[in-house]
Structure formats: C-alpha cells, structure tokens
Amino acid sequence: MRHLDSLFPRARYNRGMKKLVLSGYLGSLGLVVAATALGLSLRDEVEPTNLVMVFLAAVVVSAIFLGFGPSIFASVAGMLAFDFFCVEPYLSLAVKDTDYALTFAGLLGVGLVISSLTARLRLQIELSRRRENETSTLYHFSSEMNAAIGSDAIADVLIRSVLETVGCESMVLVPSPEGKPGFDAHPRAASLSGKELSAAQQAFSMNRRTGFGTETLPQSEWRFVPLKAHSGVVGVLAAKVSKPPAPLTQEQERVLEAFASVTALSIERWSLARQAAEVRILKAKEDLQTALLNSVSHELRTPLTTIVGVLSSLAESDESPNLGSIQPASQAELIQAAKEEADRLNVLVSNLLDMSRIESRALKVNRKLEDIEDVIGSAVIQARRKAGNRRIVTGIPRGLPLVDLDYILISQACGNLLDNALKYSPADTNVEVTAWVEVDSLLISIADRGPGIPEEDLGRIFTKFYRVQRPERVPGTGLGLAITKGFVEAHGGKVWAENRQGGGVVFTMSLPLQGSKEGPR
Ligand code: ADP
C-alpha cells in the first residue's frame, strides 16, 4: 500500500517546492535564451513577424513541461528578448514600427492562454491520478479485509494500512464482551488516558469524530473515528496524529473515513458469521440432547417396566399364595424375560459408556497379533445365541495373516454389525460373514438380505443417535454403528455400508495390516 505522500504529493511537493520552482524558472530562461540564439541567427533572413514563432515555441514548451509560473515568465521574457534582439532598432526596447505592438501583445496573450490551459489540464490529470490511487488503495484494503478472519486479523489489517497509507500509529477499540463497561483494545499494549477513553466512548455512543482537531478533547494526540456499520457503531478507530500534531489533510481524513467504514462492515460481517455458527452449534447440541433423551429414556423405560412387572408379580404371588400362585414353568418364563430385559439394559449402558469413551478419546486399544478367525468366531457365537434358527454363514479363507488389533473391540464391532443384520433382515434369510486381504488391509464384510438402507442415509447411519425412519418399529438407540465406527477408526481402519444387488445391505470394515504377521496355517 502506498503512503499518502505518494498518493497525494502535496507534502512532498511542499518539501521540494523551492527546488522545483527554481529549476522551472531556470528551465524556461534557458528556453528563451535558446529561442533568442536561434532568432539572432535567423533575423537577417526571416521577417520578425515570422521569427516570433520561435519565441512562441519556447512558451509552449515551458507551459507543457515546466508549469504555469515558468510559462508566464517565458511569455514575458520571450516578448522582451524578441523586442531587444530581433526588432529594429536592435539592442533597444524602443520600437520603430508601432505595428509590432500587436505582435508583442499576440505573443504575450497566446503565451498566457496556453499557460493557463495546460495548467488546468495538468491539475485535471493530477486529480484523476490521485483519485485512481485512492481507489486502488481502497480496493487493496477491501480485498485484504475480505480475506481477514476474526476480529484480531481485521484490526491488524486496519492498523497496518493506516500506518502505511496515512503514516499514523493506530488501534481499534471494540466494546468489551458481555456488557462489561469499556473497550477491548487491539493491540492490547496500547494505553489511553481516562480523558481519551471518555472521548473514544463519545465517538462510539454519539457516532461522531472526537479527539484531535475536534470539539471534544482537541488537544489530544489521538483522533477517534467511529466504526459505523449497518446495525450501528461497532467500535472506534483511534489514530495517533504526527508529532508535533499537524492537522490531517483532506485526503488523509477521507482515507481514514473510508478505512473506518470498510472495517466496520468487516467487523459486522464477522460477528454475524460467528453468531450464526454459535446458533448452529447450540441447535446441534440441543438436537443431540433431545435425541439422547428420547432414545435413552425409551430404551431404559421398556426393560425397566418389564423387570418391575415381573418382580411385582413374583412378590405378589409369594405374599398372597391364596390368590393363586404362579406355576413354576411360568415363573421360569417370567424370570427369563426379566433377565433378557436386564441384559438389554446392560447393553444399553455399555453402549453409552463406550460412546463416551470414544468421544472423550479415552478409548484404550490393547493391540496384540490375533487370528481374525477367532475374533470373528467369538462375535458369531454370541450372535448365534440370539439368532435362534437364523443361519449365519461364514466364509473365511485359510492363511489370513495375524492382525495387530484389540480382540475385544474388533469382536464387539463385528458383533454390532451381526446384531443389526439379524435385527433388520427377515427370519428366513441368511447372514453372510466373509474376510479377505486386499493390498495392505484386511477386510471383513457382513451381508444380509434385509430391506437395505436408503441411499441418502448410507453416510449418516454412522452418526450417533441417527436412525433411519422406517414404518416398522425395530427397537434401538442409534448407537451401535457409531460405536463400531469409533472402534474401527481407533485401529486406523474404516467401515462403510452399501446396498446389495438383489436386496439387503453389506457392511465392510477394513483394518490396516501394518504390524501383521503371516497366518498360522
Ligand atoms: P440402532 O440399530 O440401535 O438403531 P445402529 O447405529 O446400529 O442403531 O443403526 C443405525 C440405523 O442404521 C438403524 O436405525 C437402521 O435403520 C440402520 N441399519 C443398521 N444396520 C442395518 C441393516 N443391516 N439393514 C438395514 N438397516 C440397517
């Protein structure tokens, strides 16, 4: 970014003013001398009325290249030199022929007109150059602001730009969060006196400039500019004027104003984005809590109601045998039902604990080289206990390598997938379990012939508490797949689901084979 001195060269111009003026006048004197020399060499062959063109050329060149003053100087000096050297009597300002008065007036008049026209043109060019520079400065500033994320980054861009462009040290003051009185300053090291802080407060609350050069605290070396956005004033820009304090130029004021309003909009945009993100997080939290409550309360209540019902019936039949005691066979059935419900409760509580271990990254992976057939086998045995007559068909080839894994976690991950396959597929269909090696991973797949999963849900079912809405009511908490994913990822692996041709779904998990060993067979 360019400094205002180069943007608006007034200061530089002032500094080199004398030098420039002097060299301008010397230049135009040189041109007149050159024109005189040429006039002298031509005066015997050329009519004086034509010779005047040589002097006019000197005036035009001065006007174009040396500015207004030097070109006026060239007009007057040229007219005198023309009279003195090229009009008879030579070497005298006296004129024999009064017709030359018109030539002199013409030379002077044309010189003045050309000088003032070129001066005006110069000013126009200078003004549009300044405007262009100002626009490009603001354009760069806005682009940098757009790229800044966070209030500190926004303040950094502003402070750097004010320093580079206006040459002032500055800071950004934003109201303290949570309604605390006062401002948070950026950079934090900058300190303001009590009076300056109250001037800044006025700039903020009354949306007007205060401090140096204004009615409020005019002696301060700080100028406070409110940062006004659409929703109101969002902060204050404090710019420290140079020492000794010099009034800000119009251009400096204008650039500060423009910087302040771009910054205000950036702060507003950033704080709206932050609020929106907070609302989204809050909503997601609320959704999660609601899902947790719905899921857990329902899943807890059902087994508890059964257990309490069974225990009450047994207690009543013991207390009042006359009312007809429960037959031993029925008693055994009731106890079995209560036990199954207690098991369900146990699974639910374990699932919740597993989930919280995964989320708090407290999951411990006790790796050992394991035979994958044993790992899958233990999950299949557990599943067969619940499967009744269902067939679980395994197709695990011989010679698979030993895999470095946590036996309990991977066996539970397989168990969860098997439970789902049994839970969601019809009773007369098989569940197939296979394992194979592909490049540097071991893959395990569990496939069923159930209803499959809608394509749009395939990616989401691994999110905790996410359940696919189906007409039939299959009990569940939406935790099984999230836990499976957590366990597999803790091994550096992946798990995914695909619908099968001909119906049903296949879940595949892949476990990296680094650290594995040739199989036992
Ligand atoms: P839960 O089974 O307790 O609902 P999960 O996390 O195990 O929770 O599964 C999430 C959802 O994925 C289930 O609600 C179900 O809709 C779907 N799903 C999981 N496995 C299968 C499957 N084998 N066939 C069809 N849908 C399944």
The single-letter DSSP state of residue 456 is G
- Give me the residue label for tokens 């908490």: 477
Whether residue 464 is predicted with pLDDT greater than 90 in this model: the reply is: no
Separation of 468 CA from ligand 1 center, angstroms? 7
Atom of ligand 1 nearest to the CA of 450: 24
Atom of ligand 1 nearest to the CA of 466: 10
CA–CA distance, 71 with 58 (Å, rounded to integer): 9
Separation of 481 CA from ligand 1 center, angstroms? 7
Whether residue 9 is predicted with pLDDT greater than 60 in this model: the reply is: no
The single-letter DSSP state of residue 450 is S
Separation of 345 CA from ligand 1 center, angstroms? 18
Q: Which tokens go with 135?
A: 């626009």
Separation of 479 CA from ligand 1 center, angstroms? 9
Name the residue with higher pLDDT: 102 or 395: 395
Name the residue with higher pLDDT: 482 or 250: 482
Question: Which is nearest to 170 in space by CA: 184, 185, 149?
Answer: 185
Whether residue 521 is predicted with pLDDT greater than 50 in this model: the reply is: no
Q: Which tokens go with 297?
A: 């309360």
Residues paired with 27 in a beta bridge: none
Mutate to test the pocket of ligand 1, among 392, 419, 420 (most ligand atoms within 8 A of CB): 420
- In degrees and rounded to multiples of 5, residue 96 shows phi and psi of -75, -50
Separation of 467 CA from ligand 1 center, angstroms? 6
Q: Which tokens go with 392?
A: 């679980």
- Residue bearing the CA closest to ligand 1, atom 20: 420
pLDDT tens track for 17-38: 577 778 889 999 999 999 999 9
Whether residue 421 is predicted with pLDDT greater than 90 in this model: the reply is: yes
Render 205-242 in DSSP notation, one character per residue.
Answer: HHTS-EETTSSSSTTSSEEEEEEEETTEEEEEEEEEPP
Band (pLDDT 50/70/90 cuts) for residue 6 is: very low
Separation of 483 CA from ligand 1 center, angstroms? 12
Band (pLDDT 50/70/90 cuts) for residue 219 is: confident
- Residue bearing the CA closest to ligand 1, atom 8: 478
Separation of 453 CA from ligand 1 center, angstroms? 8
- Residue bearing the CA closest to ligand 1, atom 23: 421
Separation of 365 CA from ligand 1 center, angstroms? 25
For ligand 1, which residues put their CB under 6 angstroms from it? 420-421, 424, 448, 450-451, 453, 461, 467-468, 476-482, 505
CA angle 332–334–337, rounded 5-degree value: 110
Separation of 286 CA from ligand 1 center, angstroms? 23
Name the residue with higher pLDDT: 6 or 444: 444
The single-letter DSSP state of residue 470 is -
Whole-Å CA distances, 230 to 146, 253, 261:
17, 21, 10
Which whole number is the average pLDDT over 66-89?
89
CA angle 193–197–203, rounded 5-degree value: 145
Whether residue 418 is predicted with pLDDT greater than 80 in this model: the reply is: yes
Model-wide pTM > 0.75: no
Whether residue 269 is predicted with pLDDT greater than 60 in this model: the reply is: yes
Band (pLDDT 50/70/90 cuts) for residue 319 is: low
Whether residue 326 is predicted with pLDDT greater than 80 in this model: the reply is: no
Bin 187: left if φ > 0, else alpha if -120 < ψ < 50, else beta. Answer: beta
Atom of ligand 1 nearest to the CA of 451: 25
Residue 298 is predicted with a pLDDT of 74
pLDDT tens track for 159-217: 999 998 888 889 999 888 766 778 888 887 567 888 999 999 999 999 999 999 899 98
Residue 350 is predicted with a pLDDT of 87
Mutate to test the pocket of ligand 1, among 481, 483, 495, 506 (most ligand atoms within 8 A of CB): 481
Band (pLDDT 50/70/90 cuts) for residue 95 is: confident
Q: Terminal CA-to-CA distance of the chain, rounded, Å?
A: 73
Which whole number is the average pLDDT over 84-97?
84
Whether residue 278 is predicted with pLDDT greater than 70 in this model: the reply is: yes
Separation of 473 CA from ligand 1 center, angstroms? 12
Per-residue burial over 202-231, b if 16 or more Cβ lie within 10 Å, else e, is bbbeeebbbbbbbebbeebbbbbbbbbbee
Q: Which tokens go with 422?
A: 């049994």
Whether residue 330 is predicted with pLDDT greater than 90 in this model: the reply is: no
CA–CA distance, 481 with 232 (Å, rounded to integer): 49
Residue 10 is predicted with a pLDDT of 45
Q: Which tokens go with 81?
A: 């030199």
Q: Which tokens go with 42?
A: 């031509």
Percent of the chain with pLDDT over 90: 44
Q: Where are the alpha helices (DSSP H) in 4-67?
A: 4-7, 10-15, 17-42, 48-66
Name the residue with higher pLDDT: 14 or 145: 145
Mutate to test the pocket of ligand 1, among 390, 424, 462 (most ligand atoms within 8 A of CB): 424
Percent of the chain with pLDDT over 70: 91
Band (pLDDT 50/70/90 cuts) for residue 8 is: very low
Residue 340 is predicted with a pLDDT of 85
Which helix (H) or strand (E) segment holds residue 431: the answer is strand 431-438
Q: Is 241 exposed, middle or buried (0-12, 13-18, 19+ CB in 10 A)?
A: buried
Whether residue 64 is predicted with pLDDT greater than 50 in this model: the reply is: yes
Separation of 478 CA from ligand 1 center, angstroms? 7
> Is the Cα torsion angle 94, 100, 102, 108 positive or negative in sign?
negative
The mean-pLDDT minimum among 318-327, 435-444, 472-481, 507-516 falls in 318-327
Separation of 397 CA from ligand 1 center, angstroms? 28
Mutate to test the pocket of ligand 1, among 386, 453, 495 (most ligand atoms within 8 A of CB): 453
- Give me Rg for the CA atoms of the chain: 46
Residues paired with 403 in a beta bridge: 370
- Residue bearing the CA closest to ligand 1, atom 17: 468
Whole-Å CA distances, 100 to 77, 88, 94, 361, 385:
16, 10, 11, 104, 129
Render 285-347 in DSSP notation, one character per residue.
Answer: HHHHHHHHHHHHHHHHHHHHHHHHHHHHHHHHHHH-GGGTPPPHHHHHHHHHHHHHHHHHHHH
Residue 130 is predicted with a pLDDT of 86
Whole-Å CA distances, 479 to 134, 182, 352, 461, 471:
60, 48, 8, 9, 20
Residue 12 is predicted with a pLDDT of 46
**What value does the mean pLDDT of the chain take?**
86
HSE-CB of 364 using CA atoms within 13 angstroms: 2
pLDDT tens track for 224-242: 999 999 989 999 999 988 7
Q: Which tokens go with 496?
A: 């995914």
Which whole number is the average pLDDT over 326-348?
83
Name the residue with higher pLDDT: 495 or 10: 495
- Residue bearing the CA closest to ligand 1, atom 19: 420
Atom of ligand 1 nearest to the CA of 483: 6
